[in-house]
Amino acid sequence: MKAKAFLTLILCGIASVAVAQSFTVYEKDNKDHGFNVENVDSIVFSPDQVPAASVEPRQIQGRWCSLGTSISWLNENTASYSGLTKGYQTRVMEKLAFKSFSNKAVNGGCLNSAINSVVLADYYTIEHGINDWGHSTPVGTIDDYINNTKNGTFAAIYRQLIDKIFQRSKKARIILCTPRKAYGFNGYLPDHWYDPLNGIYLQEYVDIIRQIAAYESFPIADFFAECGGQRQLDNWSYDTALHPNDEGMQIMANVLIQAFEKILAEE
């Protein structure tokens, strides 16, 4: 019994290193001599199949309204697009299960299309800028936002949208999304994301969104900074190079989840 206990102790020590493995003890002969350490010929380890633990999504007792461009609109319209099975919002909800979700993105829409798309919710995300660049919407300044100039600039329209959201939901939590880098798309955009279009750079829309977020203390999902550059965009898009494929959508989802987690940590 002492020998068996000693061997068991040794084997437990070895097994603690070989996680998720099983072992078989082979003895030198099959004589009925009882279990003895000296009779051990070899110990063979073999991997065990350990099923991955399923992780249930975190339940969020709030409603999410997603405002945006075709990139957001695609979430409910993936069937006709090869290389895309689900949008970034669905991927977010696999981790954060909101009480309800409303996708009010407009296919081909600029920022002004979001104003009349606002519905009652607790959480809002705004994914805009790429189509305003494509249509050369004047960017404006942070003063246009602060002073509510209503002069048709991107900054002024952003103020109208934020005001509309707070009219619908006084306690709204809002995440501003910078536009994902993009180029091409049959001449709709320049050949590189960093080229100007009619004298305007995509970076200018990004900068004004960041300024608005800082002014309002809104969190940012920084798609521009974290969702691909010129080298990756073609591989992370199902076209060249505007709309994300599955890999591109997952990267966006990861960035947005981080922004949501910041809000949820404060509640």
Instruction: Dump pLDDT digits (tens) for 235-249.
Output: 999 999 999 999 999
Q: What is the pTM of this model?
A: 0.80
187-220 pLDDT tens trace: 999 999 999 999 999 999 999 999 999 999 999 9
pLDDT band (50, 70, 90) for residue 125: very high
Helix (H) or strand (E) holding 23: strand 21-27
**Residue 267: per-residue pLDDT:** 84
5-25 pLDDT tens trace: 444 444 444 444 444 444 444
**Residue 9: per-residue pLDDT:** 42
**CATH (residue range 58-265):** 3.40.50.1110
pLDDT at 99 over 70: yes
**Residue 154: per-residue pLDDT:** 99
**Residue 243: per-residue pLDDT:** 96
15-70 pLDDT tens trace: 444 444 444 444 455 444 454 555 555 554 444 444 445 689 999 999 999 999 99
Cβ–Cβ under 8 Å, residues 212 and 145? yes
Residue 265 CB contacts under 8 Å (≥ 6 apart), including other chains? none
Q: What share of the chain is helix, strand, coil (3-state, %, to 5)?
A: 40, 20, 45
pLDDT at 78 over 50: yes
Report domain extents, the chain: 2-47, 58-265
Cβ–Cβ under 8 Å, residues 15 and 25? no
Residue 174 CB contacts under 8 Å (≥ 6 apart), including other chains? 123, 124, 125, 126, 162, 165, 216, 218
Average pLDDT over residues 103-123: 98
Percent of the chain with pLDDT over 70: 80
Other CB atoms within a 10 A radius of the CB of residue 124 amount to 27
Q: Helix count (H) and strand count (E) of the chain? A: 9, 7
Q: What is the largest CA-CA distance in the chain?
A: 96
